[in-house]
Structure 1
């Protein structure tokens, strides 16, 4: 791995950590205003930055076999985990009937179906001049708020709301990420994070559901035309916070750097643990913000575990329908065993 690639792997690992952490602290946003403010700060950038970086790595859209590759990478896991989550929720919540709704993504699975649509939309938007493409994408993102039936159906609302960020990422070059990796930019970013946190802390009435990008204007109880400006505000805020996040991402190699390429595994698997946590008595044992360090530690350790070679090797047959990681792990353990055996009988 070349050093310049450490940056993006670090970014992806840190983002998936914030996804896990954000899902854990959601259980406590009504108990602490500081947790609630932090929760909203995280949601201003963690998925938006993930979406932007996904667009950045979608530049091979016209390569032969690209569409088939992404369909297999995203649609198959979506179908598999849609079924798995249906079974999981049936037993977890003791539902009286078992339903599988393939067109209404369960919880975090929206990202898979939206990511597929974003790549398909690039086939058209990549041929349009960037300025026109971004204007059209922004108008679509603002307009979809007037439609109610798209909020859950195939994640269409999120697809259109977040597409401008994906498109910005597609238009970006590596030089743009290099330009923001300065000491001055980092200090500005940290200051901005603090200011936004203070703003959310002193304005708890700000509806966090705006940050989900999945709600229609009517469901947010806002005047539709006033809501357009509110969504525009959150677009600007997210872009600013994305900049701040990437300005703070380290460029060096760390013990977690190589795990940044396994974010899909963490994304798909952590939901089972978070959901069990939310319905269990464990939430009563955690007393935020006093237990804040514990929540951070558990989120970080879970991110490390779910992105480890052991878990990804066992999960790959379900997520990617491959066994290459499992074969590599078996070969590694076999070599270790043979080496230990050879030393033992020397």
Structure 2
């Protein structure tokens, strides 16, 4: 997620509710229960929070990692799985998406509007803070963190297609392989990343709750330790995975200085390796309610807002002091990044920025004629409760694992 060069166990944890059934996971962020009284599944909120912490830590490592081989290796390992983890969860919670008007409205208010606002804000921020008045504002060329919103919008719109085809995952892998050998795709809508990360989203669409239970067993948690140690060893420069260009999924093979056929090969290899590390990450995510569980509902806030602090540090030279390039400095930067993103996911920050991240915008849409019938299908619930369950962009906010 960068524009450079996120008692345990399966026996005691209930199955996560399935979107489209009578159980809802789209309650008010941080409340721990939905408007209908059904509780959120803590596993997914925990996974989102821990992943967003790794995203922020990875971003803050980037300016200082070149002075530490261990930091370079850790950076590569983190980048191998934090985006796949977010995208798989996003795909899993997109299984019930269709072209119903109310869901399209949430897609617009929860993804399109934040994309337009933050794409513009980041560009203006660079003009002012970096003294770069020539930096262009382009909604067709996502800059920095906004690429994920653009990608999620495209993936969600294509969800009905993936639900209709017979073999969605092999098809998505084929598209990603072709994209990795197509430098002419260009930068519009960051389509390289959209297409190369597509298999993870489609995989999430294909997953069922029991698949998450398979990786949360005690045996998997134990086996994940040597897996992560081996990954660090491979990523240790000049190890096999010393370079991180492939992990960004931003460029074709030719743009990375490799022959065209290396793109499809590396797409398959990385898909297997990244999926293995993602499974190991999920194995260590707690399934019970933790002190940080409520923060998992605010990951979109932490994701989009921490970039301003990160960019300000780069523009103003905050990472240049030599003390930050030693072991103690790396620890300090790591702690700062974790604390910062934790604060940005908190309820007070959500309340301040909700008008941008989750605008209601009833004025912009026609009334859905089928909505009263759906409301009657929910039973005679109090009007206030029904309004809370259908708040604009709430479902999208929870599905965005940014």
The TM-score with structure 1 as length reference comes to: 0.88
Please list every run of at least 4 consecutive aligned residues from structure 1 whose deviation after the TM superposition is greater than 6 angstroms: none
Distance 1:152 1:15 in 2: 26
1:24-53 residue CA offsets vs partner (Å, 9 max, x unmatched): 001122111111100000000001110000
Q: Map of 1:197-236 to 2, 5 A cutoff? A: 197-204=232-239, 206-236=242-272
Residue pair 1:49, 1:242 contacting (<8 A) in 2 also: yes
Instruction: Kindly provide the CA deviation profile for residues 173-229 of structure 1, in whole angstroms up to 9, marking residues without a partner as x.
Output: 111111221211001112211110011114357320111111011110001113321
Match of 2:351 in 1: 313
Equivalent position of 2:120 in the other structure: 83
Give the aligned partner of residue 8 of structure 1.
Answer: 44
| Aligned mates of 1:100, 1:3 — CA distance in 2 | 42
Unaligned 5+ residue runs, structure 2?
Answer: 1-31, 33-37, 362-402
Q: How does 1:196-345 map to 2 (within 5 A)?
A: 196-204=231-239, 206-283=242-319, 284=321, 285-322=323-360
Shift of 1:311: 1.0
What is the rounded CA distance, in whole Å, between the counterparts of 1:72 and 1:13 in structure 2?
22
2:193 maps to which of 123, 133, 158? 158
2 CA distance for matches of 1:49 and 1:152? 24
Alpha-carbon distance in structure 2 between the residues aligned to 1:164 and 1:272: 30
Offset of residue 16 of structure 1: 0.4
Matched, 1:179 2:214: yes
Alpha-carbon distance in 2 for matches of 1:279, 1:84: 16
Equivalent residue number for residue 337 of structure 1: none
Q: Kindly tell me: are residues 102 and 3 of structure 1, through their superposed partners in 2, closer, same or farther at Cα, counting changes over 3 Å? A: closer
- Distance, in Å, in 2 between the alignment partners of 1:151 and 1:208 is 20
Q: 2:81 aligns with which of 2, 20, 45?
A: 45
Structure 1 residue aligned with 2:70: 34
Q: Which sits farther off after the overlay, 110-119 or 150-159?
A: 150-159
In the alignment, is the contact (CA less than 8 A) between 1:151 and 1:214 conserved in 2? Answer: no
CA distance in 2, matches of 1:185, 1:288: 34
2: distance between equivalents of 1:121 and 1:63? 10
Measured against aligned partners, the alpha-carbon deviations of 1:53-105 in whole angstroms (never above 9, x if no partner) come to 00000012127322231122111111111111111010122114252111000
Cα distance in structure 2, aligned partners of 1:212 and 1:151: 15
Is the CA contact 1:181–1:248 (under 8 Å) kept in the aligned structure 2? yes
- TM-aligned CA distance change 1:303 to 1:98, over 3 Å: closer
Question: Structure 1's 104 and 260: CA in aligned 2 closer, same or farther, altered over 3 A?
Answer: same
- Structure 2 length normalisation: TM-score? 0.76
Give the conservation status (yes or no) of the 8 Å contact 2:303–2:341.
Answer: no
Aligned length: 321
Query: 1:100 is paired with a residue of what secondary structure?
Result: coil
Q: 2:55 aligns with which of 10, 14, 19?
A: 19
Contact kept in structure 1, 2:46 and 2:296, CA below 8 Å: yes
Once residues 239 and 311 of structure 2 are traced to their aligned partners in structure 1, the CA distance between those partners, rounded to angstroms, is: 25
If each structure's helix is expressed as a fraction of its own residues, which one has the higher value?
1
Could you say what secondary structure the match of 2:216 adopts? coil
Match of 1:71 in 2: 108
In structure 2, what is the equivalent of residue 112 of structure 1? 149
